[in-house]
Amino acid sequence: MPKSEADRPSLTRRIHEAYRALPAGERRAADIVLAMPGELAVWSASELADRAAVSNATISRFVRRLGYRSFEEARREARTMRAAGSPLYLAERAGADGPSDALTETLATETALLQATLAQLDGDMLDRIAMRLARARRVRFAGFRNSHVAADFGRRALAQMRPDVEMLNAPGQTLAEGIAGVSAEDAVIIVGLRRRPAGFGRFVRAVAATGADIVLLADPGIREAPAEVRWTLVCPVETQQTLDSYVGAIAVLRLVALATMGRLGPAARDHLERIESIHDALDELDG
């Protein structure tokens, strides 16, 4: 199926597709752009070269390898992107000089992560994802380690709106058994927040080989896997505290479920009503 204008490879997707083959200098430039994609809109080629400790010629080769005619063409595309990062970096600086109270620090950190996540969320992409989830024969979620918790939250939220929403990597079965049940008529949401297991890339490629449309929800440190999927949603998770925060990821998964509900229309309400009537018949929920 030919890709629409909106589905043409973005700057970040091009980098992920080329990343494995990049020479060391170009890979350093790629890492800098992936960490702060919106900043490319204001940097010159020389500024990016200085940050990556490479020559201007290396930057020229880098952008041409991505399929752009010039650095300026890549920069023009960056101007259309919503960049995350700045709210998070401001919060980090404030945390270093501000009060040490744990509650205050946590509130500032969680707020900054949520702002950084939602600032870069593409509303049009969210709507296309919701449309695909509404029309899919089946929807499967997958995630490992702490990402499994977020994936299961997403599954539970979406299962309120439509039938046949399950975990792909369910307890008690192998990954192969879960992937074997996926087809091109399905949609899969993979949550891949750091720290991902060593075989994560192989897992994503195996799911992509089924032909299903994949939504990848990952932190900014993800590499290569976005080249295998149709849509990538980026959620910062890193904080100055000991534990990562998943407030942004949970918010995005909730928005995905709500947007899908909108696309399903009356069918979502009918499904909710069936669930509630069975709850009442079983008398299984307090209140």
Residue 251: CATH number of its domain:
3.40.50.10490
**Do both 50 and 184 map to the same domain?**
no
pLDDT confidence of residue 89? 29
pLDDT confidence of residue 262? 96
Which residues contact residue 13 at a Cβ distance below 8 angstroms, ignoring those fewer than 6 apart? Answer: 226, 227, 232
- The DSSP line for 29-63 is HHHHHHHSGGGGGT--HHHHHHHHT--HHHHHHHH
**Do both 92 and 189 map to the same domain?**
no
- Does residue 22 fall inside a structural domain? yes
- Does residue 14 fall inside a structural domain? yes
- The DSSP line for 223-270 is -SGGGGSSEEEE-----SSSS---HHHHHHHHHHHHHHHHHHTHHHHH
- Does residue 282 fall inside a structural domain? no
- Does residue 284 fall inside a structural domain? no
Whether 195 shows a pLDDT value over 90: the answer reads no
**Do both 273 and 196 map to the same domain?**
yes
- Does residue 239 fall inside a structural domain? yes
Among 45, 61, 78, where does a domain finish? 78
Identity of residue 211: G
**Res. 7 pLDDT band, cuts 50 70 90:** low
C-alpha span between 236 and 249 (Å, rounded): 8
Question: What percentage of the chain exceeds 70 in pLDDT?
Answer: 90
**Do both 198 and 134 map to the same domain?**
yes
pLDDT confidence of residue 85? 31
Domain count, the chain: 3
**Do both 60 and 141 map to the same domain?**
no
CB 163 within 8 A of CB 135: no
**Do both 150 and 254 map to the same domain?**
yes
CB 108 within 8 A of CB 235: no
Distance between first and last Cα of the chain: 49
pLDDT confidence of residue 8? 64
Give per-residue pLDDT as tens, 103-132.
888 888 899 899 989 988 999 999 999 999
C-alpha span between 20 and 12 (Å, rounded): 14
Q: How far is CA 224 from the centre of its chain?
A: 13
**Do both 12 and 69 map to the same domain?**
yes
pLDDT confidence of residue 209? 97
**What domain range includes position 41?**
6-78
**Do both 144 and 263 map to the same domain?**
yes
Whether 251 shows a pLDDT value over 60: the answer reads yes
| Helix, strand and coil in the chain, % to nearest 5 | 60, 10, 35
**Do both 37 and 133 map to the same domain?**
no
- Does residue 34 fall inside a structural domain? yes
**Res. 259 pLDDT band, cuts 50 70 90:** very high
pLDDT confidence of residue 9? 76
Minimum mean pLDDT among 73-82, 91-100, 252-261: which range? Answer: 91-100
pLDDT confidence of residue 285? 84
pLDDT confidence of residue 61? 95
pLDDT confidence of residue 87? 34
Identity of residue 268: A
- Does residue 287 fall inside a structural domain? no
Whether 95 shows a pLDDT value over 70: the answer reads no
pLDDT confidence of residue 177? 95
Q: Can you give the C-alpha Rg of the chain in angstroms?
A: 20
**Do both 254 and 162 map to the same domain?**
yes
pTM of the complete model = 0.74
**Cβ count within 10 A of residue 20:** 11
pLDDT confidence of residue 286? 80
- Residue 56's domain is classified under what CATH number? 1.10.10.10
Of residues 50 and 100, more confidence is placed in 50
**Do both 186 and 109 map to the same domain?**
no
**Cβ count within 10 A of residue 285:** 8
pLDDT confidence of residue 71? 94
Average pLDDT of the residues of the chain: 87
- Does residue 286 fall inside a structural domain? no
**Do both 33 and 136 map to the same domain?**
no
pLDDT confidence of residue 86? 30
